[in-house]
Amino acid sequence: MPDQNKIGSALISVYHKDGLAPIIELLHKLGVVIYATGGTQDFITAMGVPVVAVENITDYPSILGGRVKTLHPKVFGGILGRRENSEDLLQLENYKIPAIDLVIVDLYPFEKTVASNAGQDEIIEKIDVGGISLIRAAAKNFNDVVIIPSLDDYAVLLDELKSSNGCTSLEFRRKQAAKAFAVSSHYDTAIHSWFVGNATNVFKSSILKSQTLRYGENPHQQGVFYGNLDEMLEQLAGRELSYNNLLDIDAALSLANDFKTPVTAILKHNNACGVATGPDPLSNWKAALAADPVSAFGGIIVTTSEVNEILASEIGKLFFEVLIAPSFTPGALQILMEKKNRILLQLKKQMVQEKQFRTILNGVLWQERDSSVETEVNLQSVTSVLPTAEQIRDLLFANAIVKHSRSNTIVIASESRLIAAGVGQTSRVDALEQAIEKARKFGLSIEGAVMASDAFFPFPDCVEIAHKAGIKAVIQPGGSKKDQESIDYCNKNGLSMVFTGVRHFRH
C-alpha cells in the first residue's frame, strides 16, 4: 500500500460548480482522465477540456429523470477495487472497469431546499442517492482513492495536488475519508429529521461547523463550539470567545429577546445581576448597574439599543468581558476599543434554538425550549386587592427575569428595573432573603416593589417575609396545595397577588 498515489483518473459529479474550474484545469494539465455526469460533463466540455461521459463506462444512459446515473458496477467497481488485491485487479480487467483514483461530489442541497419551504415533491428530489453512495464508496477505499465530498474541500484538494505533483498522501486520503463520513452522516440526519418532524423517539443531531475554544468551563477541560456564530454575531473587537463567554452570551440574548421594549441587562454566570427597560439607553444602563455593581464587574452586557459615544463612555468605566448590541457608532467603538481585550459583538440576527438537550448519565435529556412569555392576559388575580397598571408592568418585568434565572429564584423589581435577585438557592425562602439583603446592601428601596417567583410557594412564609420588607405585589405560577394560605395572608395584609399558571424552573 503506497503512501503516495498518483491521480490517473477522476470521477466528478457535483451540484454546485462554483470553484470547480481551477481543479478541472489542474487535472487536465496533469493528464488525468476525467469522467463526469450530466451538468458537470457539460460544464467541463464548455471549458474545452476533454471529458468522458459516465454513460460511456456503463453503456446505460441517465434514466428516471436523472435519478439513476452512476449506480452501476462499472462505476462502483472502479472506486472500490483494491489496487493491491490481485483478484480485484483481475475482475476490473475482465469486466473492462476503469480504476478511479479521485471522486469529487457535491450533494443536492437538501437542507436549503427544506429551509426554502419547498413542497414535498421538490424536497424528495433533493435526496441524493448516487452522490451519497459515491462518497461512501470512495471513503471506504481511502487506501487507494481520495474523496472530495463537498465544495468546501476544493481548495484543500488543489493544495494537495500542487504540492505533490498530482499525488495524494495516505494521511490526506484518510483525513478526507473522515470528512466524507461526516458529510454523509450529517446529510442522512437532515433527511431523517425532515421525515420524522417533531417525533422524539430517536435522538439525532448533526452540526458540521466547529470552533475549538481555548478550553472548556475550566482550564483543564477541552472545549468546542459546534455551529456558525458568524450567522448571528459579528465580533468587532476583543479576544477569542471562551466557553463561559458563550454560555453567558446565550443567557443574555435569551433574556433580552423576551422584552419588547428597549432593555439593558448585565449577567454573571448566566444570571441577571442588573436589568432595566425604558426609552433612554443611558438611564437603562445606570439603573441596571445600580442593582449590583459588584457582580457587574467582569460581566456580560447586552443592550437592544444602539451604543453611542455617551453610552460607551459610561459603560467603559466598568471592567466587563462582553458587550452585545445591535449597532455601535464609530465614536463608541473608538472609546470601547481603548482596552483591547473587551469583546464587542454586534447582533446580526436573533436565532433561537427551539430544542434543547444535554448529556447526562448514559444518555441525553431533550426538551422544548421554554418559550412561554406571559402577558397581562395570562394573569389571574387571586387576591381582593388588585394590582395597579404600574404593578402589572413591573410584575411582568420581574417574571421575565425569573424565567432566565437559576432556580430557586426570587426577583424584586420596581419601576421597570431589577432591584435585586436571589438565585440558585436550595429554598425559596433563602432566595428571597438573599434578594432582600442584596437590595439593602446597595441602598435600594424595596418599599412598594413587586416580587416574582419561578415556582409556587409551598407555604405562606415567602409572602410574609416579602410583606414585612415592603413588597406590595406578587407574581407566581400558583399550584401549591397551600396556595390559599398565601392568598389569605395577602388579603389580610393588603398585598395583591397574581398567578400565571406557568412554572419557570431552570437548572
| Cα gap 115→357, rounded to integer Å | 22
Strand ranges of the sheet holding 450-453, from the earlier edge strand across to the other edge: 233-237, 343-347, 320-325, 299-303, 263-268, 271-277, 417-422, 410-414, 450-453, 473-476, 496-499, 380-381
CA dihedral sign of residues 336, 342, 348, 352: negative
Respond yes or no: is residue 269 known to be catalytic: yes
Tell me how crowded residue 44 is: count the other CB atoms within 10 A of its CB.
Answer: 23
Amino acid at 505: F
Amino acid at 481: K
CA dihedral angle for residue 144, residue 150, residue 153, residue 155, rounded to 10 degrees: 110
Of 17, 28, 126, 269, the active-site residue reads 269
Contacts of 166 (CB under 8 A, 6+ apart): 6, 7, 30, 32
Respond yes or no: is residue 140 known to be catalytic: yes
CB 327 within 8 A of CB 306: yes
C-alpha cell belonging to residue 469: 420588607
Grouping H, G, I as helix, E, B as strand and the rest as coil, residue 488 is: helix
**DSSP string across 238-305:** SSPPPHHHHHHHHHHHHHHHT-SS-EEEEEETTEEEEEEESS-HHHHHHHHHHH-TTTTTTEEEEESS
Cis peptide before 94 (omega within 30 of 0): no
Of 140, 175, 186, 286, the active-site residue reads 140
Residue 53's φ and ψ, nearest 5 degrees, are: -70, 140
CA dihedral angle for residue 453, residue 458, residue 459, residue 461, rounded to 10 degrees: -30
Contacts of 388 (CB under 8 A, 6+ apart): none
Q: CA–CA distance from 458 to each of 410, 461, 463 (Å)?
A: 14, 9, 11
| Cα gap 68→62, rounded to integer Å | 6
| Active site residue ranges | 140, 269
